[in-house]
């Protein structure tokens, strides 16, 4: 896996959130892997910890899809973005049986963080926005009910599986990766600083923080229960 990553990617890491250490034990904390274009625009994300086979599969998917996108778009950035968003929608359909319409046009945003009304952190940076995912249309009509139920049962066992609602109000289950694909069907090629807040807070359920580690000592008056004889 390391060989593939070093061959196709230049890698780096950032600390974006914290975790708690309670009684010497790590609690919480999470990880997100972003595959980006060299200008920092996000092509794909793996949210949460996954095994090496899953990680390698996702990394290969990005490389293959990017190669195909470059070939088909012939230097047209808008065509490349459209292709990649559709690829995420297709990946979601293939893996979960759910249909989402890829957003192929980004309207100009009225608030890009430069407005006097935008919230900023103490260092003056605007807060990471929470991007809305495009709505899920519902199950793929080509699937039989039995097939879709089997896919939903599999999805219920996926990491981070959560209840979602489609356009018609039907309740569905979607794991972390399914929700990432839904989000990216509408926001691929957005800069990493615009996406990471949504990934870490809305998908992984973590709070973004600059604290390195939060050490919690719930009973500070208890030094050592053995020596106290309690």
Q: Closest CB to other proteins among 3 and 223?
A: 3
Rounded to whole angstroms, the Cα distance separating 149 from 154 reads 9
Would you count residue 160 as binding other proteins (CB under 8 A)? no
For strands 42-47 and 98-100, give the pairing. unpaired
Residue 76's alpha-carbon distances to 45, 72, 88, 90, in angstroms, are 23, 9, 19, 21
Longest dimension (CA), the chain: 75
Q: Closest CB to other proteins among 131 and 154?
A: 131
Residue 34's alpha-carbon distances to 6, 44, 79, 197, 210, in angstroms, are 15, 6, 21, 12, 19
Tokens 């230097």 sit on residue: 75
Q: Closest CB to other proteins among 43 and 185?
A: 43
* Secondary structure (3-state) at 134: coil
Would you count residue 13 as binding other proteins (CB under 8 A)? yes
Q: Provide the mask over 34-63, with x wherever binding to other proteins is found by CB under 8 A and - wherever it is not.
A: xxxxxxx--x---------------x--xx
**Secondary structure element (H or E) that encloses residue 26, with its range:** strand 25-27
Rounded to whole angstroms, the Cα distance separating 229 from 10 reads 55
Stretch that binds other proteins, among 78-86, 126-134, 167-175, 205-213 (CB under 8 A): 205-213
Q: Provide the mask over 83-122, with x wherever binding to other proteins is found by CB under 8 A and - wherever it is not.
A: ----------------------------------------
Would you count residue 200 as binding other proteins (CB under 8 A)? yes
Q: Closest CB to other proteins among 167 and 210?
A: 210
Distance of CA 179 to the CA centre of its chain: 7
Rounded to whole angstroms, the Cα distance separating 217 from 22 reads 6
Q: Closest CB to other proteins among 29 and 113?
A: 29
Would you count residue 141 as binding other proteins (CB under 8 A)? no
Q: Closest CB to other proteins among 35 and 148?
A: 35
Would you count residue 128 as binding other proteins (CB under 8 A)? no
Closest approach of other proteins to the CB of residue 213, in Å: 5
Q: Which residues bind other proteins (CB under 8 A)?
A: 1-3, 5-6, 8-19, 21, 26, 28-40, 43, 59, 62-63, 66, 192, 196, 199-200, 206, 212-213
């Amino acid at each position: 896996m390391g060989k593939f990553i070093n061959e196709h990617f230049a890698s780096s890491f950032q600390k974006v959130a914290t975790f708690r250490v309670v009684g010497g034990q790590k609690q919480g904390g999470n990880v997100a892997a972003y595959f980006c274009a060299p200008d920092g625009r996000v092509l794909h994300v793996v949210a949460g910890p996954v095994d090496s086979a899953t990680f390698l599969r996702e990394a290969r998917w990005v490389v293959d899809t990017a190669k195909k996108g470059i070939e088909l778009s012939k230097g047209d950035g808008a065509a490349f973005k459209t292709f990649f968003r559709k690829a995420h929608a297709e990946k979601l359909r293939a893996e979960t049986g759910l249909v989402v319409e890829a957003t192929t046009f980004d309207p100009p945003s009225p608030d890009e963080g430069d407005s006097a009304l935008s919230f900023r952190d103490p260092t003056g940076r605007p807060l990471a926005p929470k991007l809305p995912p495009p709505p899920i249309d519902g199950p793929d009509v080509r699937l039989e009910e039995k097939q879709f139920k089997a896919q939903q049962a599999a999805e219920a066992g996926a990491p981070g599986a959560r209840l979602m609602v489609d356009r018609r109000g039907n309740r569905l289950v979607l794991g972390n990766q399914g929700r990432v694909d839904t989000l990216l069907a509408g926001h691929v090629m957005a800069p990493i600083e615009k996406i990471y807040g949504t990934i870490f807070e809305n998908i992984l359920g973590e709070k973004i923080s600059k604290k390195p580690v939060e050490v919690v000592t719930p009973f500070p008056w208890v030094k050592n229960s053995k020596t106290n004889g309690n």
